[in-house]
């Protein structure tokens, strides 16, 4: 009877494990379903969705936990990408004869060294941004961080003279793929006569790293530092009166959030094999911020949901709007890109209007 009762009325703990196993199974099978139904395109969409989840979790520390409105977060993404581009490509050797003499074939550093370097460099830039903005709040902080993001993009666009460091608007290409021993994530793999595309390997790598970042975020959220950030977010003056060092805590939030962005940028550079300043525009910062706000600021599952929806929804519209117009009207009346942006913006407005706390807000 106890067994039958447990099947009829499972405990909350068993129910959570049950749904967790289902979620893990869906995540593991998703790229294979995409390959057999729509080809590699949709697997690439999933890869970029995971990168956006990585970015959104980093921004959630700054915006969701500490309550610091950051419109220049994409700058840390750019810093991480260019760290990887400079340390894992022939660009520096081609631009500087001194480096070419030491590394004739180009600088090809292991990504397992590049990732922590990218995190540290991005964290440094996060502190560089946070230090002069500690007394700013709300709109003023947003304007300063927006300017910081644009400054980084403009620097990357113009650091091709007099010394060619970033190659300017031409970008950096031939960036190495991530490798483990002799195995490269950038090459397809033959298994029993079946070709496994490289995008699937990147998917599982990104998934593992996103799970790791999610665990770190959960641990931070439940720690004393996480609770201190929430106190600053709710009422900074009261938090300061209770003895919290708001200055150091804000700098820590900027540094940790920026480090997540730096790692994500390095992964993006490896995945694409090419980077240019165009990939790090203001619109990207706004999209990542919209992911955090849409899902539910400060709520990690909600942020993940918002990132996946905003990364996948535009691509779904891109793929379906033109065939749908041909089916209904026999011709394409409006460019799919115009309709896609219209529906994308309308969806955001509706969600913010009717779900102001996000699609999956945190329940206190």
Tens digits of residue pLDDT in 129-167: 888 888 888 788 889 999 999 999 999 999 888 888 999
Q: 35: which residues sit within 8 A by CB, 6+ positions away? A: 43, 197, 200
Amino acid 3: pLDDT: 44
Amino acid 4: pLDDT: 44
Q: What does pLDDT average to over the chain?
A: 85
Domain borders along the chain are 42-281
Amino acid 182: pLDDT: 82
Beta-bridge mates of residue 89:
107
Of residues 333 and 86, which shows the higher confidence score?
Answer: 86
Q: How confident is the model at residue 12 (pLDDT cuts 50, 70, 90)?
A: low
Residue 277 near residue 34 (C-beta atoms within 8 A): no
Q: Is the pLDDT of residue 358 over 60?
A: yes
Q: Which tokens sit at 211?
A: 């799970």
- Helix 111-130 / helix 138-158 crossing angle, nearest 10 deg: 130
Q: Which tokens sit at 328?
A: 């209904």
Q: Is the pLDDT of residue 11 over 70?
A: no
Average pLDDT, stretch 32-52? 81
Of residues 184 and 117, which shows the higher confidence score?
Answer: 117
Q: Is the pLDDT of residue 14 over 60?
A: no
Amino acid 259: pLDDT: 95
Amino acid 152: pLDDT: 93
Amino acid 15: pLDDT: 58
Q: Highest-confidence range of 36-40, 267-271, 294-298, by mean pLDDT?
A: 267-271
Amino acid 76: pLDDT: 95
- The secondary structure of the chain, three-state, reads CHHHHHHHCCCHHHHHHHHHHHHHHHHHHHHHHHHHHHCHHHHHHHHHHHHHHHHHHHHHHHHHHCCCCCCCCHHHHHHHHHHHHHHEECHHHHHCHHHHHHCCCCEECCHHHHHHHHHHHHHHHHHHHHHHHCCCCHHHHHHHHHHHHHHHHHHHHHCCCCCCCCCHHHCEECCCCCEECCEECCCCEEECCEEECHHHHHHHHHHHHHHHHHHHHHHHHCCHHHHHHHHHHHCHHHHHHCCCCHHHHHHHHHHHHHHHHHHHHHHHHHHHCEECHHHHCHHHHHHHHHHHHHHCCCCHHHHHHHHHHHHHHHHHHHHHHHHHHHHHHCCCCCCHHHHHHHHHHHHHHHHHHHCCCCCCCCCC
pTM of the full structure? 0.89
Tally of CB atoms within 10 A around 233: 18
Q: Is the pLDDT of residue 219 over 50?
A: yes
Residue 124 near residue 48 (C-beta atoms within 8 A): no
Q: Is the pLDDT of residue 249 over 70?
A: yes
Amino acid 123: pLDDT: 95
Q: Highest-confidence range of 45-49, 267-271, 311-315, 325-329, by mean pLDDT?
A: 267-271
Average pLDDT, stretch 195-210? 88
């Amino acid at each position: 009877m106890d067994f039958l009762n447990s099947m009829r009325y499972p405990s909350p703990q068993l129910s959570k494990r049950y749904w967790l196993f289902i979620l893990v199974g869906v995540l593991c099978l998703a790229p294979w379903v995409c390959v057999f139904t729509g080809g590699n395109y949709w697997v690439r969409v999933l890869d970029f969705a995971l990168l956006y989840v990585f970015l959104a979790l980093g921004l959630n520390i700054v915006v969701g936990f500490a309550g610091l409105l950051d419109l220049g977060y994409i700058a840390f993404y750019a810093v991480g990408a260019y760290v990887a581009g400079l340390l894992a490509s022939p660009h520096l050797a081609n631009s500087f004869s001194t480096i070419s003499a030491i590394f004739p074939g180009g600088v090809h550093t292991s990504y397992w060294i590049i990732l922590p370097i990218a995190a540290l460099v991005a964290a440094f830039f996060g502190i560089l941004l946070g230090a002069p903005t500690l007394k700013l709040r709300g709109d003023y902080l947003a304007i300063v961080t927006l300017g910081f993001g644009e400054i980084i993009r403009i620097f990357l666009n113009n650091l091709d003279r007099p010394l060619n460091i970033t190659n300017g608007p031409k970008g950096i290409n031939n960036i190495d793929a991530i490798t483990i021993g002799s195995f490269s994530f950038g090459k397809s793999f033959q298994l029993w006569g079946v070709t496994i595309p490289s995008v699937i390997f990147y998917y599982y790598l990104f998934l593992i790293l996103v799970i790791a970042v999610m665990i770190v975020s959960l641990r931070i959220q439940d720690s004393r530092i996480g609770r201190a950030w929430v106190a600053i977010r709710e009422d900074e003056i009261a938090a300061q009166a209770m003895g919290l060092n708001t200055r150091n805590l804000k700098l820590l939030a900027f540094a940790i959030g920026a480090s997540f962005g730096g790692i994500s940028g390095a992964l993006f550079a490896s995945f694409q094999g090419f980077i240019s300043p165009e990939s790090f525009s203001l619109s990207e910062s706004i999209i990542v911020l919209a992911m955090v706000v849409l899902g539910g600021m400060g709520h990690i599952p909600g942020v993940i949901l918002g990132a996946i929806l905003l990364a996948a929804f535009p691509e779904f519209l891109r793929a379906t709007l033109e065939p749908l117009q041909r089916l209904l009207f026999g011709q394409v009346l409006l460019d799919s890109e115009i309709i896609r942006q219209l529906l994308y913006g309308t969806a955001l407005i509706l969600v913010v209007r009717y779900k102001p706390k996000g699609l999956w807000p945190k329940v206190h």
